[in-house]
Structure 1
Amino acid sequence: MDFIEQKRHKELANLSSFYRLVYSEIEEVGWEHLVRFGGDLEFLSFRITDKKGRVHVMEIQLDKTYPQKPPSVSAEVPYIFNVKWSVKSRLKDLVQQFREHLEKLQEFWSTMEDIDHSLCVTNKKELSRATTCRQIDIGNDCLIMLSINAKDPSSLPECRFMGSGLVVNPVRKLWLRNNKQWMKDKTFLENLAFVLETELPRPSHVLENDQQVECGICYAQYLPMDEELGSRSGAGTDHTCDNTSCGRAFHTVCLVDWLRSITTTRQYVDFLVSLAFIWLK
């Protein structure tokens, strides 16, 4: 009986020591970062924000022998880092390793976000920050499945085509012929358009945004590269109509030329002068 009591007291003492240790280490990380924890404190999750403002949840599993046995880590990332641990390590060290791991994944996530925003990605609701594949609708009932290397997102992705042979075969031939010219110094989207020799279909919201920035007079987003335009050469639209029923974007240059072409411009004199002032600045 004495042996059983001694064993029980020892277990309680170990538990008490474990709880005090974990509580003190949570304090070091910051209670504001703690999302939830298990009643036995063997499970913890922290909210970590990376430098781009993305919010991540880091889940940590502890053993009762902690810190002798290293904790295990899981998170919504394409691959997890190798935990560097010693008996002197603390939770704050683990969180710092996770932050460093997140920084290594910034280019990957930026690439995936560009793809999601600019191309017709299917099954978006099933995607997560751990997903390295994207299924893209390129039109004519043809889909491409891209597998992006999370450790080197600017490299040539693995590609698989889905659709009828009549549509897929020509696209596959383009890929096989041109993929050796994939350049790491170009954006992922630029490379994809170059290899497939076409501008891929874009989501409706992107098309709407493009229409909003196109000049309502010349119907181009950017002015031509012309020495006569001086600093305005190649410039984008720089004026938006205040009339809510219009709301179109314009190049100041185009507006000035248009107003000058109207024979009854007296009612626009003040407006024209202000535009001319902007033009001459």
Structure 2
Amino acid sequence: MKRKLLVFVFLFQAFAIFSQVSNRIEVSGKIVVDSDDLEGVTVYNSSANKGTITNEKGEFVIEVALNDHIEFGALQFKDFTVIIDEKIIDSKQMTVFLVEDVNKLDEVVILPYDLTGNLAVDLESVKTFNPNMEAIHFGIKHSSAYEFSDDIRSNVENIAMHSQGQTMVNGLNVINLVGLLLKPLFRSNKSKEGKAKNASVNIPINTLTTYYSELFLNENFGIPINRFEEFITYVEANNLDYSLLETGKELQFLEHLTLQSKQFLKPKSEKD
């Protein structure tokens, strides 16, 4: 009887292990980074003890299952772990945006959609922006597709409150989102705050960042693509309170932009 029981337990464990292995699927991924260091980035599935590296185009293929831990690492980046969710499983695609900052990986964005592009702006050359990550724009159509690592704008994390906290949406830190995508559009030189009406004209935005910023405002606020700069100017010209750009006021700033966008989109007859 004992032998039969031991054999049954052994077969059950073997079946469970086989099921986990057989349930893994291949996911095609791509690394995007503001440098030529696309090749040789380690992509390691610590849940399966298997890994791979990116090719010269930053592409990789790895087998994953739901809730697997995928680690990205290279000498020039800080190691970062991503937990595979259902959206990545369903799409079988994953694009990882890496932002370098001298041996430091400040931001990682995971997309289960096939989007690529160089989204990092050379911070040294952008004089009208605050240093660090303030000059990075990502256009987000569905915020649940993204995961952000903590940065200097992140509050102290209370894991117990995530189920009820209002700043987390499908795992996305809304405060980080506002800090990355919206604030940079309205940040001018603080010493020239009195010239707010011309602030948007002085902001150097290259083609890629303009494209992704336009998409973000279009998808989330309904701003037409061809009225992108007009909306920026409108918000700043209507007594924009620049204190809303301070850390800790992200939600108030988001509410302000929502109200401004509604006013901006009204027909001229209603505005008058």
TM-score, normalization by structure 2: 0.31
For CA contacts below 8 A with separation 6 or more, give which structure has more relative contact order: 2
TM-score, normalization by structure 1: 0.30
Q: Which has the higher strand share?
A: 2
Q: Which has the higher helix share?
A: 1
